[in-house]
Amino acid sequence: MKIDDELLSVRAAELYYDEDKTQDEIGAILGLTRWKVGRLLATAKQRGFIRIEIVHPRARRLGLERALGERFGLADAVVVPVGDAADAAEVAARVATAAADHLTALRPVPRTLGISWGRTLLSVANALPEGWASGVAVVQINGGVSVNRRSGTAAATAVEIARKAGGGATLLPSPAILERVETKRSIESDRTVAGILDLAASADVYLFSAGATTPDSAHIESGYLRRDDMEELVRRGAVGDVVGRYIDADGRIVDPGLDERTVGLPLERLREAARTIAVVSGAEKVAVARAIVASGLCTVLVTDEGIANALLAAVHPPDDPGGSQDSSPRHPSRRTTT
Amino acid sequence: MKIDDELLSVRAAELYYDEDKTQDEIGAILGLTRWKVGRLLATAKQRGFIRIEIVHPRARRLGLERALGERFGLADAVVVPVGDAADAAEVAARVATAAADHLTALRPVPRTLGISWGRTLLSVANALPEGWASGVAVVQINGGVSVNRRSGTAAATAVEIARKAGGGATLLPSPAILERVETKRSIESDRTVAGILDLAASADVYLFSAGATTPDSAHIESGYLRRDDMEELVRRGAVGDVVGRYIDADGRIVDPGLDERTVGLPLERLREAARTIAVVSGAEKVAVARAIVASGLCTVLVTDEGIANALLAAVHPPDDPGGSQDSSPRHPSRRTTT
DNA sequence: CGGCGTCCTGCTCACATGAGCACAGCGGCC
DNA sequence: GGCCGCTGTGCTCATGTGAGCAGGACGCCG
């Protein structure tokens, strides 16, 4: 393209978008036919001279969403733009709101909703509108934080979500990680706990977040893990935790011994479930987000633009060059009952 | 408007602008009629959820230009967006380019072009394309800097502009400010100088920049003024200089004594001229820019978005409440030959 | 309880726009 | 030098879009 055309297209774009002139008028002003003007505008858009941005806390990035969905075989994806957000907390809040919106719009309305807990899910709970659904039974799917923190977080999340849906919350009365396998076994065999785990396994929708392997992890803050435990996990390839279980980049359990002492739904149940919603935001969680989507832990990912871009930027076969499996049904064990 | 409509309009905007869907399709997706979608988009635009930005070094801000033109009775205005420009130098370069563009597009092509000198005008000279016009006589309209700087700047500017237009440059061989009035008088009465000043007074287009009252003013750097001279000028209300003459916020000469010793075209000549182009950029020049446009020193202002906004933000009568004169023909002495 | 004004909705119609097509000018290639 | 393909241009036509209008719902007030 000639340099002159570039200038003209910019001038045309100014007149069209800033001045609300019609392409015909612009043609008259610049001495061009209106078709030429149309073409100039098209190239200007294509070459990125015209930037259209939707600035709203609840705006989403649909292009990224579709790309994510196709790339990782998700049923749905929600990507929140970072835009001019001041800090990570604001982005996290937007992601939580988006997750709440998604949950509210979910059809069919879940009968039983399994949830994990954490800062993220608490935000989601708070962002849900009163009466976002009706008659939803909420059940915790992994052991709680209530041991040596004020019992707030974990229980409050479940109760809030349930209350706003006019349903009941079932809490899992157990620590997240126990010190001895025997204790974990005996807790699980307790009638109450076993019943709750059965209920959790029968949920039709799961909602969970993920933890990074950073020192401010809830597991460390709550005393379930020490810093050097975490460092050891990282050495062994951990990228983060999902419902209390630490996984590597391939979504596999990093430390079976530790996992044996962790109370809650096994990850396989999440991989089988028809609808699992993962809510993840923040640069430190890119790795765990990648593990989640790559290993089929969720069918719906709610995240921020930064993570979405990072997930898509990872090298991937331009046209499946010798890939070991075809791309579409990446997780054949997934039920497809909608 | 209901909160729901806000959400819907954002969703609709996403689909329309990010996804290139038609309003009809969006209607189908969201369960609305296409007219409703159109209205939602309109309100979204109006309420600023949709930001359309033209990102190009040569883009302009036409809305501001028109506002400036109307507000100050300018024949034309060119406003360059600041956008994501890294620093003031980049903005200044864009403004210079815009001025060069304006000059190139000027019709009728000037026969004689009177110019001042300075960093800004040198940039303009460099930004002009070869052959931007043909047969233009360029003449300096104020005394030069050539005294104790290497003779470059002032002369180079004029020569470059003239060369690129295939015309000749006439330099004003005189210091900008003399120490004694008598010297100034005798220089002006010199045949050569007088002839050049006559030529300068007969130019049909003037192009000039403005100086701020900062310590890095060319007048100080060139030794025409001392720092305390400048401070004294500021105390007396000076906001900057135009073709070497210091003016206050109303465009009046601040120090007649100093002005008497300044060689060059009187400001009155600029105010009478049919076409005078002022090129001003940088936050430190807002005050002098305001003085220029408010006192009718230019018919065309080329500037940056920052200055433009500052000029328009100044309080002004919402509907001429007891103003001493009507608003449109603010400078009745201006020739209107165009 | 009824009348009235206001806001909102869905429509018709005129206009703006983009896709697709035919043709002209130009450069490379035989 | 002539032929061929390519790019760029102006057009026709189908579609997308916004202005203006009529009817209905809602709330306010008598």
Local confidence band at B325 (pLDDT 50, 70, 90 cut-offs): very low
Tokens 């990102």 appear where? Answer: B55
Q: What is the mean pLDDT of residues B213-231?
A: 86
Residues of B with Cβ-Cβ distance to A49 under 8 angstroms: 54-56, 59
- Return the SS3 of A316: coil
Residue A236 (CA) to nucleotide D8 (C1'), in angstroms, measures 61
Distance between B178 CA and the closest CA of chain A, angstroms? 45
Q: What is the pLDDT of residues A4-43, one digit of tens each?
A: 678 888 889 999 998 889 999 899 888 888 899 999 998 8
Q: At B309, list the tokens.
A: 């906004």
Residue B10 touches partner A, C-beta closer than 8 Å: yes
Q: Residue B334 — pLDDT band, cuts 50, 70, 90?
A: low
Q: Percentage of chain A with pLDDT > 70?
A: 89
Q: Is A31 on the interface with B (CB under 8 A)?
A: no
pLDDT reported for residue A324: 42
- Return the sign of the alpha-carbon dihedral for residues B98, B99, B101, B102: positive
CA distance B166 to B163: 5
Nucleotides of C under 7 A from a protein CB: 8-12, 15-20
Nearest residue to D7 via alpha carbon and C1': A1
- Hey, which residues 70-109 in chain A have their CB within 8 Å of chain B? 101
Rg (CA), chain B: 24
Phi, psi of A189 (to 5 degrees): -85, -10
- Measure CB to CB from residue A17 to each of B7, B14, B52 and give the nearest one: B52
Q: What are phi and psi of B215, to 5 degrees?
A: -65, -15
Are the beta carbons of B49 and A50 separated by less than 8 Å? no
CB B125 within 8 A of CB B89: no
Contact flag A52-B19 (C-beta cutoff 8 Å): no
Please name which of A286, A208, A282, A283 lies closest in space to residue A242, comparing C-alpha atoms: A208
Average pLDDT value for residue range A246-256: 94
Find out whether A297 and A251 touch, Cβ atoms under 8 Å.
Answer: yes
Query: Residue B136, SS3?
Result: coil
With CA atoms as reference, the chain A residue closest to B20 would be A63
Q: How high is the pLDDT of residue A328?
A: 46
Count of C-beta atoms within a 10 Å radius of residue A35: 10
CB pairs under 8 A between A and B: 77
Tell me which long-range contacts B107-111 makes (C-beta under 8 A, separation of at least 24). B109/B133, B109/B134, B109/B136, B110/B136, B110/B203, B110/B204, B110/B205, B110/B275, B111/B135, B111/B136, B111/B137, B111/B204
- Residue of B201 and A1 predicted with greater confidence: B201
Tokens standing for residue B138:
């360029």
Give the nucleotide with minimal C1' distance to the Cα of B20. Answer: D16
Q: Report the distance from CA of residue A32 to the C1' of nucleotide C24 in Å, as an integer.
A: 18
Q: In whole angstroms, how large is the CA radius of gyration of chain A?
A: 24
Nearest-Cα distance to chain A for B313, in Å, is 20
Which residues of chain A form beta strands (DSSP E)?
A: 50-54, 76-80, 112-115, 137-140, 169-170, 205-211, 238-242, 245-248, 276-280, 300-304
Q: Average the pLDDT over A280-296 and give the result.
A: 95
User: Which chain B residues touch A56 with a CB distance below 8 Å?
Assistant: 6, 10, 49
Nearest CA in chain B to A66: B19
Q: What is the pLDDT of residue B174?
A: 83
Distance from CA of B8 to the nearest CA of A (A): 10
CA-to-CA distance for B75 and A304, rounded, in angstroms?
Answer: 48
* Confidence class for position A317, pLDDT limits 50, 70, 90: very low
Please give the residue that has the higher pLDDT: either A312 or B7: A312
Across the interface, whether the CB atoms of A51 and B56 are under 8 A apart is answered: no
Distance from residue B35's CA to nucleotide C12's C1', rounded to whole Å: 12
Q: Which token pair is A222?
A: 């709550």
Task: For residue B202, give both structure tokens.
Answer: 């007969």
| Pairwise CA distance, residues A8 & A1, whole Å | 11
Contact A303, A324 (CB under 8 A): no
Supply the mean pLDDT for chain B: 85
Instruction: Give residue for tokens 């003085």.
Output: B291
Q: How confident is the model at residue B313 (pLDDT cuts 50, 70, 90)?
A: confident
**pLDDT attached to residue A258:** 92
**Which of A25, A43, A52 to mutate to probe the B interface, most B CBs <10 Å?**
A52
- Tell me if A254 sits within 8 A of A236, measured CB to CB: yes
Rounded (10°) CA dihedral A122, A125, A126, A127: 120
Which two tokens mark B331?
Answer: 């400078």
For an interface test with A, which of B18, B47, B101 has the most A Cβ atoms less than 10 Å from its Cβ? B18
Tens of pLDDT, residues A94-137: 999 999 999 998 889 999 999 998 889 999 999 998 888 888 99
**What pLDDT was estimated at residue B234?**
93
Stretch among A146-150, A303-307, B202-206, B262-266 having the lowest mean pLDDT: A146-150
Segment B17-28, tens digit of pLDDT: 988 899 998 998
* Per-residue pLDDT tens over the stretch B234-287: 999 999 999 999 999 999 999 999 999 999 999 999 999 999 999 999 999 999
Task: Please state the rounded mean pLDDT for residues A55-65.
Answer: 85
- Neighboring chain B residues of A11 at a CB cutoff of 8 Å: 60
pLDDT at residue A149 above 70?
A: no
| Average pLDDT rounded to a whole number, residues A186-207 | 91
